A and B are shown apart, each in its own frame.
Chain A
């Protein structure tokens, strides 16, 4: 019998008979009739487990973390940083209604923008604006279009208030439309920058349509704070970079202090040195050499020794390639931020100095070992100038060098100041700071009079575009309004999760029990398939990064009820066919084939409903539609394919009827 195992892969089907020895081997499992289906099922189970492991791991890690407090939990996070991150990235995502958090929809106030852009405003203009305001409240059309219609209805040229007198209404319409598009990009950038600084884990910031921004902040509960964060006016400042030697002296004293404190303070030592070995192995040799050249006159040191002697310099790299600024790899950013916030460290930083982070990271390191680095800029605390003086900013390609540049214009008051500042700081760097993040820190080449500056040295067009957006944020704020805000406190989220789990378990238990009692063996097989349904459903949700919401859990529970429908249809049919005198095998065959159309038809309409709901619903309701759709497809697979294989094997093996109750 065993010899036939090797024929698994062959497509030849032997004429089947229950007593034919050729169809059996190893207790009936590897019968070639089922091989294909069994392999598919096994592969599905394997994939499902693979997809669900991160969710399980994430749960475990967080359970462990929950037991620790304070410094212990901090060092636990440091030790398991990558593992935590990986598990979190691939786990089943919970909607804001389950994990708590805030969802805010911001809309760029185009009306205010139009008003800000207008010149020579008079009563007529104000009257027109008033009407546009009233109309915009209910209209779906863009305020710019409404404005244009009002002007045209009165026969007034738009150029009376915008741009040059010679411009046609078309030109101005295009200009205003363009400006409102730019305003949303600016708003996005401002919001993203602030959210990044606020330090929310897994924030989501998306543009929706022409003028909306959706911000989702899981776990955030300080509503008032966040609202101010999102709505406040952006602050653009120019801040002078500190001299490199001053910076080195400060950094050196921080380094010494940390090295000394780490000897007595175990929590600090833990957070500093945990995972050093792994961090260092990934660090490129050249950067390591760089750091040693700059800061260790005592000669070559091993990575381990170096990090013990110089805890600060081993994570903040001061390289000669980038004088006067520190480089911090992405994974160390939080650590450095925490170190700099320490009271004893703060005391070492001079009163007029502060460290600011770059808004964006850059990729450095040798080929194959590139890593993302953030820059730490030491700047003078008091700003030289604020961005209100900027009149305009524009990026373009410099025709003579074919490189992107950004030009910036200031008003007369700003120009006077700017001339004084640049004149006094030639060959020094001035950081362009938006809401405390540094977007660029160009070198001053000459004294700039007349307020017309050019910034060059951008690596890409994207960078130049970003700088234009940032500079304009100083000139023309992007006024945003909160038009929708939903927040769920963590305790309600927990209540919902608990209620969801309880009701899922009770629903499963009742369904499973009922099926087993009512259909006996058949019912147990259906229960077995039901377990697969649940596992597959969750796995698919994880694989496609779907979000699980409370209505989504309701969808799963509903799926449990509906999933057995296919089996009920089949079993009732089998009972009928058996009552009609068919053999067990024939009854099963007939049951499956005759019930199929009904099963297919009835699930199709529910699937259609799911698709439509997904299309029109938002957030939680989409979560419901998602689990409903996945549930239907998966339950059909389990109910038709998995149960069938089991019955086929049972009938073949024993040759007697399966008990359908």
Chain B
């Protein structure tokens, strides 16, 4: 079976149109990041988060009033997968686990006839929260350094720069979409927690994976067709690996979609970010990583060899 025969799509010719698309989506994302921000999880915020499952459906408004009555005015309340699973998060810090106990008491008083069980309770002290934030930043920096080193070692500067630009593009775009879509679709809580950081690092790895495969083919073709101009050569290479790109990205996309729909609340945010990441990662290999090299090469009239 074959989805695509031998294609000869002029990818590079339409690159300016796609720059505009990328810029628009990232721009919207940035606006959302500034206006709405990201929804930090308990890991990074610190405080107490408690998920309870009631016997019957409850009204979020009733829970809000129960929290307000007990002084948790800053509490964030939302459903967690169903109408009887409720997540309550408050930044309040107190000795030990007093906050959790008080929340439970408040819920018991408010819903005497609707018993609940505690599904999950997290208490993160201020120090731990700060440490987790620090570790997450270190992880992002470390993976950035590792990938830069790897790319710098592997390809010539111009190409490595293109690959890095593609990674930044993917991270910014996904971050923006995470901010935009959080809380918009029911049951899709895109909390920025440790698992989300893991998703971002993974998408960086996968996006880089795709770029490397395309670059690999460009390198090979540069040896074979020494006098072909770069845009044509890139078009040829991308067309050659297009089938592979679509199939691999497709399988990863499908399994992540499965995780998004069937994987439960815990990994939903992860699945969403990775899903966006796999699409933009595939796209950016062509329209950011390769296209940027073309821009420079066209302007400077150089050859743009991938390796010496």
Judged by a CB distance under 8 angstroms, whether A272 is at the interface is no
Provide the residues of chain B in CB contact with A562, threshold 8 Å: 206, 209, 248, 252
Task: Pick the contact of A137: B126, B135, B210, B267 (CB < 8 A).
Answer: B126
Provide the residues of chain B in CB contact with A413, threshold 8 Å: none
- CB-based contact A486/B121 at 8 Å: yes
Complex Cα spacing A107 to B95, Å: 12
CB proximity of A224 to chain B, nearest CB, Å = 7
**In the complex, per-residue mask of B177-212: 1 if CB is within 8 Å of any chain A CB, else 0:** 000000000000000001101100110111011101
Complex Cα spacing A137 to B130, Å: 11
Provide the residues of chain A in CB contact with B118, threshold 8 Å: 223, 487, 489
Among residues of B, the one whose C-beta sits closest to the C-beta of A488 is: B120
Using known A-B contacts A564-B248, A598-B212, A625-B198, determine if residue A495 contacts B264 with beta carbons closer than 8 Å.
yes
Among residues of A, the one whose C-beta sits closest to the C-beta of B246 is: A568
Complex Cα spacing A620 to B124, Å: 15
Q: Restricting to B80-128, which residues have a CB under 8 Å from any CB of A?
A: 95-97, 100-101, 117-128
- CB-based contact B271/A598 at 8 Å: no
CB proximity of A580 to chain B, nearest CB, Å = 12
Complex Cα spacing A561 to B274, Å: 12
- CB-based contact B128/A483 at 8 Å: yes
Judged by a CB distance under 8 angstroms, whether B38 is at the interface is no
Judged by a CB distance under 8 angstroms, whether A246 is at the interface is no
**In the complex, per-residue mask of A208-250: 1 if CB is within 8 Å of any chain B CB, else 0:** 0000000000000001100100010000000000000000000
Q: Restricting to A481-529, which residues have a CB under 8 Å from any CB of B?
A: 481-489, 491-492, 495-496, 499-500, 502-503, 506-507, 510-511, 514-515, 517-520
Q: Restricting to B226-275, which residues have a CB under 8 Å from any CB of A?
A: 240-241, 243-244, 247-248, 250-256, 258-259, 261-264, 266-267, 270-271, 274
Judged by a CB distance under 8 angstroms, whether A197 is at the interface is no
CB proximity of B88 to chain A, nearest CB, Å = 15
Task: Pick the contact of B121: A223, A481, A520 (CB < 8 A).
Answer: A223
Complex Cα spacing A295 to B253, Å: 73
Provide the residues of chain B in CB contact with A231, threshold 8 Å: 96
Task: Pick the contact of B150: A515, A576, A604, A616 (CB < 8 A).
Answer: A604
CB proximity of B13 to chain A, nearest CB, Å = 24
Provide the residues of chain A in CB contact with B19, threshold 8 Å: none
Judged by a CB distance under 8 angstroms, whether B40 is at the interface is no
Judged by a CB distance under 8 angstroms, whether B213 is at the interface is yes
Among residues of A, the one whose C-beta sits closest to the C-beta of B136 is: A616
CB proximity of B85 to chain A, nearest CB, Å = 9
- CB-based contact A105/B263 at 8 Å: no
- CB-based contact A491/B117 at 8 Å: yes
Judged by a CB distance under 8 angstroms, whether A615 is at the interface is yes
Provide the residues of chain B in CB contact with A511, threshold 8 Å: 251, 254-255
Which of B117, B120, B201 has the most CB atoms of chain A within a 10 A radius of its CB?
B201
Judged by a CB distance under 8 angstroms, whether A621 is at the interface is yes
Using known A-B contacts A489-B117, A568-B248, A661-B2, determine if residue A507 contacts B198 with beta carbons closer than 8 Å.
no
Provide the residues of chain B in CB contact with A618, threshold 8 Å: 132, 135, 194
- CB-based contact A601/B205 at 8 Å: no
Complex Cα spacing A515 to B96, Å: 53
Complex Cα spacing A223 to B216, Å: 55
Among residues of A, the one whose C-beta sits closest to the C-beta of B204 is: A609
Among residues of A, the one whose C-beta sits closest to the C-beta of B195 is: A551
Instruction: Spot the interface stretch: A185-193, A313-321, A552-560.
Output: A552-560
Provide the residues of chain B in CB contact with A606, threshold 8 Å: 202, 205-206, 208-209
Provide the residues of chain A in CB contact with B97, threshold 8 Å: 223, 227, 482, 485
CB proximity of A313 to chain B, nearest CB, Å = 45
Instruction: Spot the interface stretch: B55-63, B141-149, B168-176, B288-296.
Output: B141-149
Task: Pick the contact of A551: B95, B256, B266 (CB < 8 A).
Answer: B266
Provide the residues of chain B in CB contact with A630, threshold 8 Å: none
- CB-based contact B143/A612 at 8 Å: yes
Provide the residues of chain A in CB contact with B78, threshold 8 Å: none
Provide the residues of chain B in CB contact with A97, threshold 8 Å: 266
Among residues of B, the one whose C-beta sits closest to the C-beta of A498 is: B264
Complex Cα spacing A231 to B98, Å: 13
- CB-based contact B128/A499 at 8 Å: no
Judged by a CB distance under 8 angstroms, whether B51 is at the interface is yes
Complex Cα spacing A550 to B271, Å: 12
CB proximity of A403 to chain B, nearest CB, Å = 43
Q: Restricting to A395-418, which residues have a CB under 8 Å from any CB of B?
A: none
- CB-based contact A605/B205 at 8 Å: yes
CB proximity of A292 to chain B, nearest CB, Å = 53
Complex Cα spacing A491 to B252, Å: 30
- CB-based contact B202/A621 at 8 Å: no
Complex Cα spacing A608 to B146, Å: 7
- CB-based contact A481/B96 at 8 Å: yes
- CB-based contact A503/B195 at 8 Å: no
Provide the residues of chain A in CB contact with B198, threshold 8 Å: 551, 613, 617, 621, 624-625
Provide the residues of chain A in CB contact with B259, threshold 8 Å: 503, 507, 554, 557-558
Judged by a CB distance under 8 angstroms, whether B154 is at the interface is yes
Judged by a CB distance under 8 angstroms, whether A541 is at the interface is no
Task: Pick the contact of B254: A510, A518, A520 (CB < 8 A).
Answer: A510
- CB-based contact B243/A572 at 8 Å: yes
Task: Pick the contact of B258: A495, A507, A617 (CB < 8 A).
Answer: A507
Task: Pick the contact of A499: B205, B255, B262 (CB < 8 A).
Answer: B262
- CB-based contact A572/B244 at 8 Å: yes
Complex Cα spacing A517 to B247, Å: 12
Task: Pick the contact of A485: B121, B208, B252 (CB < 8 A).
Answer: B121
Complex Cα spacing A496 to B259, Å: 12
Judged by a CB distance under 8 angstroms, whether A565 is at the interface is yes
CB proximity of A565 to chain B, nearest CB, Å = 4
Judged by a CB distance under 8 angstroms, whether A349 is at the interface is no
> Would you mind naming 20 contact pairs between A and B with Cβ atoms under 8 Å apart?
A484-B125, A484-B128, A485-B100, A496-B264, A503-B261, A554-B271, A558-B252, A560-B255, A561-B253, A568-B247, A572-B241, A594-B220, A601-B212, A601-B216, A606-B209, A608-B147, A608-B150, A609-B202, A612-B139, A615-B139
Known: A482-B123, A569-B213. 9 other contacts (CB 8 A): A97-B266, A484-B125, A487-B121, A488-B120, A550-B264, A554-B270, A561-B252, A610-B205, A617-B197
Question: Nearest 3 pairs between A and B by C-beta?
Answer: A499-B264, A616-B139, A561-B255
